[in-house]
Amino acid sequence: MNYEFFLAKRIIGSKAYKSSVSAPIIKIGIAAIAIGIVVMMIAIATGIGLQQKIRDKVVAFNGDITISNYDSNNSQESIFPISKNQEFYPNFKSVSGVKHIQAVAAKFGVIRTETDFEGAYLKGVGADYNWTYFQEFLVAGSLPDFTKKRTEDVLISQYLANRLHFKVNDKFQMVFPKDDVEKLPNIITYQIKGIYNSGFQDLDAQYLIGDIRHIQRINKWDEDQIGNFEVYINDFSQVQNTAEAIYRNTPSTLNTQAITEKYASIFEWINIFDKNIYGIIGIMILVAGINMITALLVLILERTQMIGILKALGSNNWSVRKLFLYNAGYLILLGLFWGNIIGLGLLFAQKYFKLFPLDPSVYYVTEAPVYISLSYIIALNIGTLVLCLIMLLVPSYIITKISPVKAMRFE
């Protein structure tokens, strides 16, 4: 029989234990564990959630990997066309992990109304376009259909729509200037089929989605000529390796670029979140551990006479230490229980009720996104329990210095 565990349960369940001098300190220790686990859960959930949300928004406009011509063009506009007749299109079978590939092109133009004008890129897409992300971003109207004959329907951002006072079904002219300023520009009248809002204002301000056949006609390209390919992959963590594999399996005239390279500053910024999360976890575990050390020392001091009696009856130092570690483990588990209840309650409230908004011009999202996964919750709880118990091994060593004779006379 594990008598240390038996004694620990009797001590925890006794009324004297709950009304002892150490009770307030014990409650503070439990509260420290609970607050620590709440802060750590929120840090992980919002940190990972923000990373994924920003990443998904950037990927929605560019794909995980782009395949384009080698050129010195730093703008988003497609200058030199690529033939769609490639071995890797429409199914990239030579590289594993590729989920989808689509052909697109971009053309800069000026949206013109009677009172306003705004510069933007018309992103031309075709029947192969993946609308998954924009289906989520859609706030009004519906998505355009580019599977049939050429259409003037476009999907415009809410940012541009608000600036130009547009609504669904409105028509507007878009002027596409030519390289030769002496020639008349191309003017196309578009109709707004839908309005989207990704929350990423920098990109929303740049793009509207239209039929790629308009860009082909303006640029005098053939039907099989496009601006670049966008590739979507299954595992974003392998984006760099997959980009290298795609580069090796495409013609030497084409360049491959991962989204992490194209928007390096954004991805470097969101990678800093990992360091912040690790820092918060370390600080919270340290604070919780110190509080539990204080609680354990008070418990030991309060039960010095009991320690002396147990030693006099033949218990060794490790047995007595185990008794108090069982006691401390119970307090840690109690703190973890309440911390999980409060933490998960706050996370689910944010997930479904959007209680905490964010400034999209700074964070690229309109509210704090949360990522809830059973795996990190379990790992966080087990890690906190184990690390706190390891930290308590050192102060519990004081028990070995207690003399049975002096302890039984201790008041």
**Contact residues for 225 (Cβ-Cβ < 8 A; gap 6+):** 81, 82, 83, 84, 216
% of the chain residues with pLDDT over 70: 94
Which residue positions in the chain have pLDDT lower than 70? 1, 13-22, 72-74, 180-182, 404-411
pLDDT of residue 139: 94
Does an H or E element contain 262, and which? Answer: helix 259-262
pLDDT of residue 73: 62
Angle of the 374-396 helix axis to the 23-62 helix axis, nearest 10? 150
Task: Kindly list the domain boundaries of the chain, sorted by start residue.
Answer: 3-57+267-408, 71-252
pLDDT of residue 327: 87
| Pairing mode, strands 186-196 and 65-69 | unpaired
CB count within 10 Å of CB 156 equals: 27
Question: The pTM is what?
Answer: 0.82
Chain segment 253-277, per-residue pLDDT in tens: 899 999 999 999 989 988 888 898 9
Of 194, 183, 282, 229, the closest CA to residue 91 belongs to 229
Report how far residue 339's alpha carbon sits from residue 347's, in angstroms, rounded to the nearest whole number: 12
3-state SS, 346-386, equals HHHHHHHHCCCECCHHHHCCCECCCCCCHHHHHHHHHHHHH
pLDDT of residue 363: 79
Sign of CA dihedral 203, 208, 213, 217: negative
Chain segment 31-40, per-residue pLDDT in tens: 999 999 999 9
